[in-house]
A and B are shown apart, each in its own frame.
Chain A
């Protein structure tokens, strides 16, 4: 069963105090792009949505449970997170990462499911390679497949394309579109305006700004990089 992620009058503890309360819902199959200059709280927002940071005010709920109070294992079945930097020094192979993702998602780790998840993520040819021998871009692709395998409701992505080349960026954006079609909801924090515009699926986007610049906006219209740039530099 897919769960809806809801933010009710959310005020982040840091760093954008007084930027206004955020209220929005992410029904299954929705995607939201989060934009903002450095230090405006994109990562804090994502960590708060993941239940890792406690907000100053308001609540984040997944289904009907506050996300921060969910038992970690139950939360992991519904919600996954990908950070901007792929893991360093982890000796696990690509296949082992996917096995762990299935385990975290509460599913059996049968060879068929592992293979299907690797095929879907386009990483099956590296199955036996330790992830610390892969390039950053390849490792990030593994982490995206890991997140998609793990969670069936929400995937949070914190600047996932930071280390990727043009093709890698396109692949990430295409993956987000595919997850959305599967009924997952996605929140993507990024500086990569062109790639988002090119992907074409973003019709909901948030611009995080300090109070002096007008506060945070949530736009419900097709994303264009020109409009986003204007709001970011205003």
Chain B
């Protein structure tokens, strides 16, 4: 895929999937009704379906996909590790624990969710991921290597997992079901307010990533080389980890643990021959993430499969194929050389 036409192609694919999602659904509205409802005319029901259900859901998918793609790219670059994704920092584990405390542990957040007009689960997820981010900020100065950071994320994951298991063991069937349901992931829980918050975070992250693009390129050559090329390691670390953590935390809060999308997207973009420098990678990653999220949402709605399952069922084999294909390619190349 050449850099010159990949962005327009992705844009067209995204718009087509968006339109397909907008003009189809279980309500079986007529075309004229759907068009009318978009301009605010027609029955209140059709206006509600278009403006309060379909549009926010599709916007949530676009913003989540783009956010996770960018977060994945930042983490893979920062850790110089193709296995890194938005969940490596433990932020999504923190969110899961937050939801478990609310859904299974009976934690009440008092008046806060009500005052902010949020579901308690979302509030729990935001607090959980926020707590991990704060903890990360507090201990980051103590880490001697980036591997230590990866281990931090892994251990937070184990701890959160263990606590969730304890909570599950003592939970009632109804509460357990609600928790499992959250774990399946969905773009339908968003609304205009979450979309606005996610959009603000995404714009800030894109702005930062564009400004830091050359420094991120230098970082791929190793920390020592990057530092002597003028990269301020501290500010790059805070920027990359902070942006990825916030994006992953927000998406997880409203859409559930679907961060796998962020791991897979940069691989797909690179395999499709996107530019190597970050300045040229950011837009293909955003568009691919958004397109994949819309596609997955379509599968969810047409076939009734949970979102998390769709992402892994489609994403994992693709990433595997890419890795195996790449391995074969480099082996044959090495033999030929």
Contact = CB atoms under 8 A, between A and B. Distances in A.
B217 A73 contact: no
A148 to B, nearest CB: 13
A198 B46 CA distance: 85
A100 B228 contact: no
Interface in B198-220: 214, 217-218, 220
B217 A92 contact: yes
A70 to B, nearest CB: 10
Contacts of B220: 87, 89-92
A96 B228 contact: no
B33 interface: no
A150 interface: yes
A100 B217 contact: yes
Contacts of B230: 72-77, 104
Given A87-B220, A96-B217, A76 B277 contact: no
A81 interface: yes
A83 B151 CA distance: 27
A87 B228 contact: no
Given A83-B222, A97-B221, A104 B229 contact: yes
Given A72-B232, A75-B230, A104-B230, A83 B218 contact: no
28 contacts: A52-B224, A52-B228, A72-B230, A72-B232, A73-B230, A79-B228, A80-B228, A81-B224, A81-B225, A81-B228, A83-B222, A83-B225, A87-B220, A87-B222, A88-B222, A89-B220, A92-B217, A92-B220, A93-B276, A96-B217, A96-B276, A96-B277, A100-B217, A100-B229, A101-B229, A104-B229, A143-B225, A150-B229
A168 to B, nearest CB: 18
Given A81-B228, A89-B220, A90-B222, 10 more contacts: A74-B230, A79-B228, A81-B224, A87-B220, A88-B222, A89-B80, A91-B276, A104-B218, A133-B333, A150-B229
Contacts of B227: 52, 72
Q: Say which size band chain A's interface belongs to.
A: 20 to 34
Nearest to B217: A100
Contacts of B221: 87, 90, 92, 97
Nearest to A91: B276
Interface in B219-261: 220-222, 224-225, 227-232
